[in-house]
Amino acid sequence: MEQSSLGKDHKEPGRNRLIVVAGAGGLIGGGPYAIFQGAQVHAHPSDRRKPLFEWYQRVPGVDSLCLDLSEQQNCVRACEGARELYKLAADMGRMGFIERFRIECLRSVLINTNLIEAANRPGAERYFCSSSSCAYNTDLQKDPNVCSLKESDAYPAMAERGHGWEKRFSELVCQEYWAERGMKTFIARFDNVYGPFGTWDGGQEKAPAAIARKVIEAKDKGCNQIIIWGDGTATRSFMDNGSCVKGIDMIMHCDDLIDLPINLGSGELVSINELARIIHVS
């Protein structure tokens, strides 16, 4: 998404405004610093689980808190004085993790619910919620020749168990906070995000990082095969974390998109087999 496409509705963050980034130690959450620093705002990041020494990105001059944001009192502490909040924290990973740890994925609803309530009390002006393509009807994603999904394809609802339903409910919570309490909420459904500073092992890495690791390990062992999820014909769209952060900024500051879930991604479909081939020859 190009900056020129923002139009007249784009509003830059003001100076000396407290920004809260929930999940600042992760692949996406650490990225907004470049935008925020350019606007000379204060960043107040937090991350739910990781101790500070495990954060992928740390930026001098900003407060970094290690808080479990599934707890209401921690959300109240993190949101104190904030004007903009970015909810980029969640328990999730690749398909193996999502299928095996559905309860962990579902518990991420506590982060969004507690965070948006804590943000609304002191009068935060804008709240961003990260959703996922897993919120879409799973039947529409089974055909390897599926076209890019449009936002209305989320209905009739049949989301991915665990992670997908958590995202659908969190979207609804954000929409109701705008409808009933007038809090400006913004929702983006992410494609698969990849890039530097991301998890690459342990089960919570995304498909590009997982396949890259498998290809490297196979080459080191002199093996010509890797294990993938499914038969490799499934198609997905992938987005680098830099583009993702730019998209978040554009969505967050466009009032035409208040409470409207919008896809954020490249729109280019790539099969898992093709992804493996691309990584193999890289």
pLDDT, tens digit, for every residue of 144-158? Answer: 556 667 788 887 777
Write down the pLDDT at residue 12: 47
Q: pTM of the predicted model, to two decimals?
A: 0.78
pLDDT category of residue 2 using cuts at 50, 70 and 90? very low
Q: What is the CATH number of the domain that holds 44?
A: 3.40.50.720
Residue 179 included in any domain: yes
Residue 175 included in any domain: yes
Torsion, Cα of 160, 181, 87, 102 (10° steps): -30
Domain count, the chain: 1
* pLDDT > 90: percent of the chain: 22
Residue 136 included in any domain: yes
Residue 215 included in any domain: no
Residue 277 included in any domain: no
Measured CA to CA, the distance from residue 282 to residue 270 in angstroms comes to: 16
Measured CA to CA, the distance from residue 48 to residue 125 in angstroms comes to: 23
pLDDT at residue 275 tops 80: yes
Domain span including residue 138: 3-198+237-270
pLDDT at residue 53 tops 80: no
